[in-house]
């Protein structure tokens, strides 16, 4: 149950006229409001040109639930790196079933290279030798490709996830991908997220119950010890905490 924006697919470019300053001011007006109010406003403003980025982590499944209650026609996409955990695919399937998502609403986006092609061109286990390059090939380029079809994207980043996300705005201009970026849960805590999941019985990735607060690819994700940063399990032994999706260019 998916629409595949896979290898070799191009998407038509689009224009955006709202300034970064206007977006920031608009976002600040929601600082004292609930995420659902922000979501309702941006979905109304961008209608068919807004999409939810979903990794099927805790924050993202919360956003799936919220968006579905506001406008169930809003699509989501996920970056299928070919190295996701089986539990992540299982969560995808449970989310699709729970919310009755149609194939056109679930966009699977893949790298232009298969894992075998990547190994042939860049060497085996690229994630172990050059993780930034691996993320560029399997995440950043596919993301750039899919976002060209939209004017705004919704993400699940929170300010307290890591120092690199501490200054995330509720709405901002994404200079790297050239569209509006909406972070409805930016001011929420992990406790807020899990309270919502429990209250609304939202399907979630069972890896969260095994010490994985942040879940990415199998080769680059490890459990986190008590007291560690929530993203400490990503790219262990590397000075890397982000895959490049949420950094300014």
Task: Point out the residues that are catalytic.
Answer: 243
Angle at 100 between CA 99 and CA 104, to 5 degrees: 115
DSSP 8-class letter at 165:
G
Token couple for 247: 């950094």
CA distances from residue 53 to 4, 125, 147, 215 in whole angstroms, order as listed: 15, 26, 10, 14
Give φ, ψ of 22 to 5 degrees.
Answer: -65, -40
What is the spatial distance between Cα 70 and Cα 222, in angstroms, rounded to a whole number?
A: 35
Token couple for 48: 């068919």
Give which of 106, 80, 67, 76 is closest to 184, Cα–Cα.
67
Q: Which residues pair with 173 in a beta bridge?
A: 180
């Amino acid at each position: 149950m998916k629409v595949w924006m896979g290898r070799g697919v191009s998407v038509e470019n689009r224009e955006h006229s709202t300034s970064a300053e206007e977006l920031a001011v608009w976002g600040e007006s929601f600082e004292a409001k609930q995420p659902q109010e922000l979501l309702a406003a941006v979905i109304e403003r961008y209608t068919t040109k807004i999409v939810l980025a979903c990794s099927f982590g805790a924050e993202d499944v919360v956003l799936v639930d919220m968006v579905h209650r506001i406008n169930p026609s809003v699509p989501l996409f996920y970056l299928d790196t070919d190295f996701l955990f089986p539990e992540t695919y299982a969560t995808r399937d449970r989310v699709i079933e729970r919310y009755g998502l149609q194939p056109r609403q679930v966009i699977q986006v893949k790298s232009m290279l298969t894992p075998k092609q990547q190994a042939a061109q860049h060497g085996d286990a690229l994630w172990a030798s050059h993780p930034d390059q691996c993320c560029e090939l399997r995440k950043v380029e596919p993301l750039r490709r899919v976002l060209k079809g939209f004017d705004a994207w919704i993400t699940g980043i929170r300010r307290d996830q890591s120092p690199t996300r501490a200054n995330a705005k509720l709405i901002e201009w994404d200079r790297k991908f050239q569209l509006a970026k909406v972070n409805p849960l930016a001011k929420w805590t992990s406790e807020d997220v899990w309270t919502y999941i429990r209250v609304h019985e939202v399907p979630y990735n069972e890896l969260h119950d095994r010490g994985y607060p942040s879940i990415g690819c199998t080769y680059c994700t490890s459990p986190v010890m008590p007291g560690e940063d929530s993203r400490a399990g990503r790219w262990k032994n590397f000075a890397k905490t982000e895959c490049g999706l949420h950094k300014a260019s």
